[in-house]
Amino acid sequence: MHSAVVEGVLRGRELRYAVEAVVVLAGVPGAGKSTFLRRVFAGGDGVRVFDSAHVRERWMPVLGVVPYVLWRPLVHLVYYVRLLSGMRRGLGPMVVHDCATRPWARRLIGWRARRAGLPLHLILLDVPGDVARSGQWKRGRVVRQGSMAMHCRRWPELVAKAVDDPGYVVPGAESALVLSRGEADRIARISFGSGIVGGC
| Domain at 109, CATH number | 3.40.50.300
Lowest mean pLDDT among 61-70, 122-131, 145-154: 145-154
Q: Is residue 146 part of a domain?
A: yes
The predicted pLDDT at position 44 comes to 58
pLDDT of residue 195 exceeding 80: no
Confidence class for position 55, pLDDT limits 50, 70, 90: confident
Q: What is the mean pLDDT of residues 24-50?
A: 83
Q: Is residue 120 part of a domain?
A: yes
Compute CA distances 196 → 15, 17, 106, 191, whole Å: 10, 6, 25, 10
Q: Is residue 71 part of a domain?
A: yes
Q: What is the mean pLDDT of residues 148-157?
A: 81
Q: Is residue 199 part of a domain?
A: no
Looking at per-residue pLDDT, the higher value among 175 and 143 belongs to: 175
pLDDT 10s digits, 156-177: 899 998 988 999 999 999 999 9
pLDDT 10s digits, 1-28: 444 334 444 556 889 899 899 999 998 8
pLDDT 10s digits, 69-103: 788 888 889 989 999 999 998 888 999 998 888 89
pLDDT of residue 194 exceeding 70: no
| CA 57 from centroid of its chain's CA atoms | 18
Q: Is residue 139 part of a domain?
A: yes
State percent of the chain over pLDDT 90. Answer: 31
Q: Which of 25-39, 46-60, 103-117 has the highest mean pLDDT?
A: 103-117
Q: Is residue 8 part of a domain?
A: yes
- Three-state SS letters, the chain: CEECCCCCEEECCEEEECCCCEEEEECCCCCCHHHHHHHHCCCCCCCEEECHHHHHHHHHHHHCCCCHHHHHHHHHHHHHHHHHHCCCCCCCCEEEEECCCCHHHHHHHHHHHHHHCCCEEEEEECCCHHHHHHHHHHHCCCCCHHHHHHHHHHHHHHHHHHHHCHHHHCCCCCEEEEECHHHHHCCCEEEECCCCCCCC
For the chain, how many structural domains are there in total? Answer: 1
Q: Is residue 47 part of a domain?
A: yes
Confidence class for position 191, pLDDT limits 50, 70, 90: confident
Q: What is the mean pLDDT of residues 132-148?
A: 64
Owning domain of residue 130 = 2-192
The predicted pLDDT at position 189 comes to 87
